[in-house]
Chain A
């Protein structure tokens, strides 16, 4: 009996290993490239023979990358906060209140989750040019909020349904209004769900490439994924590979930290929304 468990454990262990290798190889590869010296960059070795931080020094010395990083962080943070607040309001209403039009809202957010984003690129390009939003932060924040909202609403409704709502009733019996009950009692209980949703939404905004490349034209609002695709190296004779890899690693670090620290939350956030659906 003990023998079979050991063998089962080994078997699972090997499968685990396969998953880990499959998932991490591309990430380790781009990290490895970012630490290579220009001379060894094209040697095709998976592990650098000579290590250097030169690539990181290069990108942080250029305005191009630093500006893009600021844009990425600013835009993603603002879009995330707005989407989570609006999403929380709607999710609260969906999970707690009875009102006509609820199904409609769920339907609309489902449709938007499936919406082909490229279909919006042409009209938004033209509309934003007319409104003066083209190549600005709000010009990107708006579509990000829109496409993050379905995710936020689904995840948050799933979380809200698990909250012990009797506490709300108790608060209302003590004379609190529905609004007060929401702010004082439920909001603190909902904080973990809000936080998880914020991470998921942030990852979505951080990731976007299509809107960012279509609705921006200068460093004013270009985000890192777009800046990466325009990198050319310090001079035209210089190969930008090392710089691109270093920049790529920099924007991967926050994702890896989120995943390392909040794996459990992220998994529960993504799966709870799906079970409900």
Chain B
């Protein structure tokens, strides 16, 4: 997706140059004026130039660190390239893709990632909505609630993951002793449940904050009016609040879905991917850093990128105008 950005970005620059050189071209000034309603004044041109100048560093860094590597990654994915056997490096076309896509570990990891994404995002939406309402409307201790809710958001994921790991370690942990006799982190189902719990704990506050932004947009009068008309709390929620909040909910869902799909830190600390609990990020990492297989690692990188692009595309297609930033382009 950011690949598209490069040529279009270049267009913009070309467009800018055109408009400037167009003024010196043989076209009579009048016609030039007719074509654009307002001729570019000295001021306007200075403004454009400053705009590009101010944006250039940010744009360059972002493109240099994402667009170029992802293209390079596509190139690497078409090669047999194992750092342990550098002599065998050669161009092999799509062979790596066949290897990965016919590999059951990849599909297991893919399934695990999808499962974690769907379950955590669904639970977080419900919990996050509850938390958002509490943070927004509570009559007592609003500051305390908001402050405590921010702690999971801010805390280092690895730290939280260690806390959960020790909590579920037999003997050491308060939760392990309470809820189970065995070692929950050595079995697949319970490991996955704990990974999801850790994810939900960590990211529900973020979801709630995004939803709270939407809650703040619900007009108080509207709620009062609905209340006087005899609407129950549930009706007020579904008929008044939800429709107003829809854009905020979609933004929150989109961001959290793509973020959940990247799940890595919690799995790394909690299970290291044992018992088939690896996510796609986890096996891509394993192939690269532990296996030193750049070809296969890059292939997985590209596949993950494509999957995320598809998810984002579906969201944007389904919800079109709700895409964040869509109204940001207008000048105020």
Residues of A at under 8 Å CB distance from B?
Answer: 5, 8-9, 12-13, 15-16, 19-20, 22-24, 26-27, 29-30, 33, 41-42, 44-46, 86-87, 89-90, 92-95, 97-127, 142-143, 145-146, 149-150, 153-154, 157, 161, 178-179, 203, 206-207, 209-210, 213-214, 224-225, 228-229, 241, 244-245, 248, 251-252, 255-256, 258-260, 263, 266-267, 270-272, 274-277
Type the 1/0 row for B1-34, where 1 means its CB is closer than 8 Å to any CB of A. Answer: 1100100110011011000000000000000000
Q: Check if B320 is an interface residue, CB within 8 A of chain A.
A: no
Residues of B within 8 A of A154 (CB): 324-325
**B70 and A123 contacting across the interface, CB-CB below 8 Å:** yes
Of B167-175, B182-190, B225-233, B234-242, the segment with at least 4 beta carbons within 8 Å of chain A is B167-175
Assess the A9–B213 pair: CB atoms within 8 A: no
Check if B154 sits within 8 Å of A255, measured CB to CB: yes
- Is the beta-carbon distance between B2 and A90 smaller than 8 angstroms? no
Q: Looking across the interface, which residue of chain A has its beta carbon closest to that of B177?
A: A44
With A93-B54, A157-B328 as given contacts, are A123 and B69 in contact (CB-CB < 8 Å)?
yes
Map CB proximity to A onto B264-301 as digits: 1 under 8 Å, 0 otherwise: 11001100000000001100110011000010011011
A111 touches B5 (CB 8 A): yes
Given contacts A210-B285, A258-B154, A267-B209, contact A110 B65 (CB under 8 A): no
- From A16, A153, A210, A263, B150 is in contact (CB under 8 Å) with A263
Which of B59, B210, B301 lies in contact with A90, CB distance below 8 A? Answer: B59
Q: A23-B205, A27-B163 are in contact. Are A116 and B304 (CB under 8 A)?
A: yes
Q: Contact partner of B55 among A93, A125, A161, CB < 8 A?
A: A93
What is the bound-complex CA distance between A275 and B2, given in angstroms? 24
* 11 additional contacts (CB under 8 A) given A102-B51, A149-B62: A29-B167, A90-B58, A100-B16, A101-B13, A104-B5, A114-B254, A121-B288, A252-B156, A255-B155, A274-B213, A275-B213
**Residues of the B chain whose Cβ atoms lie less than 8 Å from the Cβ of A258:** 154
Per the bound structure, the CA–CA distance linking A258 and B150 in Å amounts to 10
List, in ascending order, chain A residues with CB within 8 A of B66's CB.
112, 115, 120, 146
User: Does B151 lie within 8 Å of A251, measured CB to CB?
Assistant: no
Q: Are B304 and A275 in contact (CB under 8 A)?
A: no
By a CB distance below 8 angstroms, the chain B residues around A33 are 166, 172
- In whole angstroms, what is the CA distance A157 to B212 when docked? 19
Contact B141 A16 (CB under 8 A): yes
Interface residues of B: mostly helix, strand, loop or mixed? helix
User: What's the minimum C-beta distance from B128 to chain A, rounded to whole angstroms?
Assistant: 12
Nearest chain A CB to B261 CB, angstrom units:
7
Residue of B1, B301, B325 near A123 (CB, 8 A) is B301
Q: Interface size (B, Cβ < 8 Å)? A: 114
Q: How far is the CA of A30 from the CA of B297 in the complex (A)?
A: 34
Chain A residue nearest to B69 (CB atoms) is: A123
Pick from B97-105, B118-126, B132-140 the stretch touching chain A: B132-140
Q: How far is the CA of A15 from the CA of B130 in the complex (A)?
A: 10
Chain B residues, CB < 8 A from A266: 150, 154
Question: Are A89 and B156 in contact (CB-based, < 8 A)?
Answer: no
A-B contact pairs, 12 of them (CB 8 A): A9-B139, A22-B201, A89-B57, A93-B54, A115-B308, A119-B304, A123-B70, A127-B72, A210-B264, A252-B155, A272-B213, A276-B328
Rounded to whole Å, the gap between the CB of B283 and the closest CB of chain A is 10
Residues of chain A lying within 8 A (CB to CB) of residue B8: 104
Given contacts A127-B72, A146-B66, contact A116 B163 (CB under 8 A): no
Give chain B residues whose Cβ lies under 8 Å from the Cβ of A126: 72, 76, 294
Closest to B269 in A: A229
Assess the A110–B164 pair: CB atoms within 8 A. no
- Interface flags, B295-332, vs A, CB<8A=1, else 0: 00110111011011000100000000001110011011
B159 lies within 8 A of A16 (CB): no
- CB neighbours of B248 from chain A (8 A): 274-275
Q: Is the CB–CB distance between B162 and A244 below 8 Å?
A: yes
Q: Which residues of A contact B304 (CB under 8 A)?
A: 116, 118-119
CB pair A30–B162 under 8 Å, yes or no, is yes
Chain A residues near B222: list those with CB within 8 A.
none
Docked complex Cα distance between A178 and B44 (Å): 11
User: What is the bound-complex CA distance between A182 and B211, given in angstroms?
Assistant: 33
With both chains docked as a complex, state the minimum distance between the C-beta of B332 and any C-beta of chain A, in angstroms.
7
**Given A27-B151, A30-B163, A101-B9: A118 in contact with B262 (beta carbons within 8 A):** yes
Q: Which of A42, A104, A251 contacts B12 (CB 8 A)?
A: A104
